[in-house]
Each structure stands twice: as C-alpha cells, then as structure tokens.
Chains A and B, each alone.
Chain A
Amino acid sequence: MASTTTKSAFWRGARDASPFVLVVAPFAVLFGVVATEAGLNIAQTMGMTALVIAGAAQFTAVQLMTENAPVFLVIAAALAVNLRMAMYSAALAPYLGAAPFWQRALIGYVNFDQTYTASALEFERAPDMTITERVAYFLGTVIPVAPPWLGFSLLGALFGSEIPASYALDFALPITFLAIVAPMLKTLAHIAAAATSVTFALLLAGLPSGIGLLIAGALAMAAGAFVETWQTRRRAR
C-alpha cells in the first residue's frame, strides 16, 4: 500500500513539473551553443552541465571566461548567482530533514529553481504527506528538468556550430538572462536591486572582469534588503 502512494507521489511530481520542459529545453540548447562557441570542448561543456547543473551560474561562468577573468573571480561570481539555493535548502529542510542522509544527499544534487518551486508549493498544499511521499514527489519533479537539461545541452554543443553567423548568437545570452530576470521583478525591492546592479555594473565596467559585477551584486543585494525592510516597517505603522 505504501509503495503505491509513494509511486503515485513520484509521478504526480513528474506531472506537476512537466511544463518546465518548455523553458529548460531551449535554455539548455543555448548553453550548449554558447559554451562551445566560447571555446569549451564537448567534454568540458557536458562536464559543466552535469556537475554544476545550474543554468544561470553556468552562463555567468562562461561569459566571464570569454572575458578571461581570473579563475577565482569566475568561480566567485558564478557561486554568488547560486547562493539563492541556500534559501531553497533552508526552506526544504523542515519538510525533508527527516529523510535518510543518502536521500537528502541526492536531493541536494537536484535542488533546482524548478524542483524547489514545484515541491515547496505541493508540501505546503498537502501537509499530510509522509516523508517518503515527499521525497518521491521531489524526485518526480526532477524527471522533466534534469534529463532534458543534459540532453538538450548536448544537442546545442553538437550542432551549435552549424547555426549561421547571421543569427547574431552573441546576443542570445543577454536576451535569455533578461527573459529569466524580468518575471522575477515582483516587488519594488526586486526592482531596486536590479536597478542598483545595472547602475554599478556600468559604472565599474572599467575594473577587471568579475570584480565590478561582485561589487555591484553586493550593493544590489543590500539595496533589495533595505527596500524590503523599509516597506515592511512602513506597512507596520
């Protein structure tokens, strides 16, 4: 009986996360194309895709690598992009903290924007789920996300060189990043953070690659947090 509900939780997760394929597939193709165009070979492109398995951070790393930024700055900036996932980890801990360690270790590897969003929503909606069902549901949400991410990256890496130069692929990365960020601008605080980031990135563009971005990013995080605090206080009054 328990295995039936576990199985159904797994497939429910897979089904709930299935719309993400539409975003993951083109983004993955693009990563394959951009990374190989930047000079990574197929093994390096796929190595990064499989080990890092975080689109925005991978694009950040590749962009800074085309600018020949120092190794530690490439790593620092890309990891900074991934810091939000510590928040996902913290938010999932109350729901999944009781699972065996090996299961949590596995979940850590596939704790993405999409799997987190779908699962957090479901765990909140259905508080009666057992720990086994929650783990099954989470792993189910991985199915429409991770395999397409790997498969379509490979496709992009293999066939990217056949795309004609007239397609202005240099600008695919900025457009994709803007498309990802725009829907995140949900509150005044998010907009303040983004505006601060743009302003300081442009002002500090003269500094060696990566340094300006890290400074702009830190100031922008502070700006977002500041506006949020200010708004909360004003509302409380």
Chain B
Amino acid sequence: MSYSTGEIWLIIALLGIGTYAIRLSFLALLGGRELPPVVLRLLRYTPVALIPGLVAPLVAWPAATGGTTDPARLAAAIAALSMGYVTRNVLAAMVSGALVLTLGLWIGG
C-alpha cells in the first residue's frame, strides 16, 4: 500500500460520508416516495454484481503464489461457494472453505 496518511483518511472519510448518505437517502426524504421499478431492479443486484468480480481474480491468480493458479486455493473457493449455495449458511461456507484450504496446503505441502 503506497498511500499517504492523508489519502488513507480521505478514503475513510469519503467512504463514511458516502455510505451514510446512501443509508439515509430515502429515510430522510419524507413520505416514503417510491423508487422507480427499474432502479429497484438494478439495486437488487449490486452485491452479486460486484463481489464475485472482486473475488474472481483473487481466486484465479492469487498474489501469494505469484499469480499462478493454485489448486488448494481454487478447491477452497469452490468448497466455500458450493457449501454456501447449498446450505444458505454463511458460517458453514466460511468454515468449509477454511478446512479445504488447510487440507489442500497440507497435502500440497
């Protein structure tokens, strides 16, 4: 990380203000005006549209292995994803991903 202290605090402050503005947005506007359906439809997909894209390169080319695809990490990612999909349980998914990673690194040694 090569930011100045000022830049780091700027990121923190603007993220804090921006997030607060998003959270308060419609609560602050009286009367409970409704969002247009198109906007609602797009907002519904923001987490599933951004988080997988953030994770994909980290899974495909982990920095820890110098960008080479790593079987242990790939298996752990698949384990977390499928466990989470099947059980709908975040904690179970995290634990199974961690277990498969530990096992994979131990085998790959």
Task: List chain B residues, Cβ under 8 A from A8.
Answer: none
The A/B interface has a contact count, at CB < 8 Å, of 288
Q: How far is the CA of A105 from the CA of B29 in the complex (A)?
A: 11
Q: Answer yes or no: B107 CB below 8 A from chain A CBs.
A: no
Main secondary structure of the interface of B (DSSP, over half): helix
Task: List chain A residues, Cβ under 8 A from B3.
Answer: 65, 68, 71
Q: How far is the CA of A68 from the CA of B54 in the complex (A)?
A: 15
Task: List chain A residues, Cβ under 8 A from B55.
Answer: 174, 177-178, 181
Q: Answer yes or no: A175 CB below 8 A from chain B CBs.
A: yes
A: interface residue count bin:
35 or more
Closest to A112 in B: B23
Main secondary structure of the interface of A (DSSP, over half): helix
Known: A66-B1, A178-B80. A74 touches B11 (CB 8 A): yes
Q: Which 8 A-B pairs rank lowest in CB-CB distance, beginning with the nearest?
A: A182-B84, A108-B24, A51-B16, A224-B45, A201-B53, A220-B49, A179-B93, A175-B97
Not counting A65-B11, A182-B85, a sample of 18 additional A-B residue pairs whose C-beta atoms are within 8 angstroms of each other reads: A63-B58, A77-B50, A79-B15, A87-B40, A89-B22, A89-B26, A89-B27, A93-B27, A166-B105, A175-B76, A178-B55, A178-B77, A179-B93, A194-B49, A194-B52, A224-B41, A225-B44, A229-B41
Q: Which of B1, B15, B23, B84 contacts A48 (CB 8 A)?
A: B15
